Amino acid sequence: MPIHLPPISRRQFLGRTAAAAAGLVTLRPTFAADAKADPHAFALLADTHIPTDPTTEVRKVNMVDNLRRVIAQVSRLDPMPANALIDGDCAYLKGLPQDYTLLGKLVEPLRQAGVPLHLTLGNHDDREQFFAVYVNAEPTNPPVSSKHVSVLETPRANFFLLDSLEKTNQTPGLLGAAQRAWLAQALDLRRDKPAVVVGHHNPQLQPTEQGKWFGIKDSAEFFAVLTARAHVKAYVFGHSHHWEIAEHEGIHLVNLPPVAYVFRQGDPSGYVHAQLERDGMTLELRCLDEGHAKHKERVELTWRA
């Protein structure tokens, strides 16, 4: 489910949370950062896993330190990105209120720099607890019951932010029939620009041999919606803590690296700087370990016809 935290350095953004509470569905470029920002640039983060205790470490990684470093890097970019996104698993394990309180403090420098921040929630988040902390961010009339979705309109592409959270602290994700129907309708209403769909969970077209699901359980139905619409160009996700670019029937699959810890030894952690082009998107991996072999690796995506 997408949450939108406006910049806090300009007065014209102070009414934004009130709009969200009224059932905001579409976010237009007027909510972008200051004029000096690049309207086609985005900072893409995922899997921050912020705990209640800032000293907590997992796999010898302090998640708070990692996010603090990434936020500092993004806040120093010149030009600034027009928007930033945290794609799920914002909290450590169970989405406690204290997790989100600490998260808010950690991202404050980015918002003070004038960059709007959009969040989707993953399987380690809790929507009720998040809204207990960010009361004004909860829409009173969401277009999909119990699933919070929205569209971020930008000059070169529209971003469709989904809610794949099924149950807190359980691995699989689920979109559901109502959300897929909303997505199909929202996509059909916006055929004038390329569409980039964003959700936390990875696609998984069938269960494992053990019958287990780790990604989106209704991936087949989800991709039926995407592949049938030529203006859908990419699906961006996190969840697997693994940086990888793939493709499915012409749709680019962008698996973001984690800000927090990795699952596979040798994988990078950090964030992705995304630049929208007229016919595609250029991604540059920014590793926290600048000595990593993949630091500043660039991938140029060309949109399918």
Report which residue type is found at 143: P
Indicate the number of domains in the chain. Answer: 1
DSSP per-residue string spanning 102-135: HHHHHHHHHHHTT--EEEE--TT--HHHHHHHSG
Question: Structure pTM?
Answer: 0.92
**Tokens, residue 40:** 């086609």
CATH number of the domain within which 164 lies: 3.60.21.10
- State residue 237 phi and psi, 5-degree precision: -150, 170
Report which residue type is found at 79: P
Predicted confidence at residue 29, as pLDDT, reads 46
Report which residue type is found at 13: F
For the four alpha carbons of 204, 209, 210 and 211, in that order, the dihedral sign comes to positive
Do 51 and 99 contact (CB within 8 A), yes or no? Answer: yes
As a whole number of angstroms, the distance between CA 51 and CA 46 comes to 15
Predicted confidence at residue 225, as pLDDT, reads 98
Burial 68-104, CB ≥16 within 10 A → b, else e: bebbeebbebeebbbbbbbbbbbbbbebbbebbebbb
Domain that holds residue 287: 3-302
Find, among 79, 89, 65, 158, the residue nearest to 113 by Cα.
79
Report which residue type is found at 85: L
Reading the chain (305 residues) residue by residue, the pLDDT tens digits are 457 787 864 333 323 333 333 333 455 543 444 668 999 999 999 999 999 999 999 999 999 999 999 999 999 999 999 999 999 999 999 999 999 999 999 999 999 999 999 999 899 999 899 888 987 777 778 889 888 889 999 999 999 999 999 999 999 999 999 999 999 999 999 999 999 999 999 999 999 989 999 999 999 999 999 999 999 999 999 999 999 999 999 999 999 999 999 999 999 999 999 999 999 999 999 999 999 999 999 999 999 99
Predicted confidence at residue 237, as pLDDT, reads 98
